[in-house]
Amino acid sequence: METKRQYEVVFIVDPTADEDEVTRLTESFKQIVTDQGGTITKSETMGRRQLAYEILHKTEGSFWLLEIEGSGREIAELERRMRVNDRIIRYITVRVDEDRRRAEKFKAKRVRKAEKRPAGKDEQRRGSVPEFVRPDADEDAA
């Protein structure tokens, strides 16, 4: 059995494409992924944005994010289709499952370390107010 991996695919659509065309294009990409055996976990439009530099004489584009869970075959097919599509200005695919697994591991380690720390010292540090700030300190001195 192939292991399921997580990928983020960000692609930029030509700004001259109308809203319906961009929606059809995105739906066709989703269909490609599901036909190849992958699943779309998140699909998000990041809106129309200014590009950092001019690409194909364009200075802005519509950004889309797809989070995909699959084996990698669907990514190869998706990238092939994006490469030949004239409406896609740029795309990038990043495998994120290892990074997320590492982040979860560090998070669990921090939680375990926080549980081992004696609670009394933290509460004393956070809860105590220095003598010179307490309002009843003047009464104690008199």
Model confidence over 62-111: pLDDT tens digits? 999 999 998 888 999 999 999 999 999 999 999 988 877 788 888 888 88
- Give the residue extent of every domain in the chain: 5-95, 98-129
Dihedral sign for Cα 24, 30, 31, 33, please: positive
Q: Which of 63-67, 95-99, 113-117, 137-141 has the lowest mean pLDDT?
A: 137-141
pLDDT confidence of residue 134: 56
pTM score: 0.68
CATH 3.40.50.2000 is right for the domain spanning 5-95: no
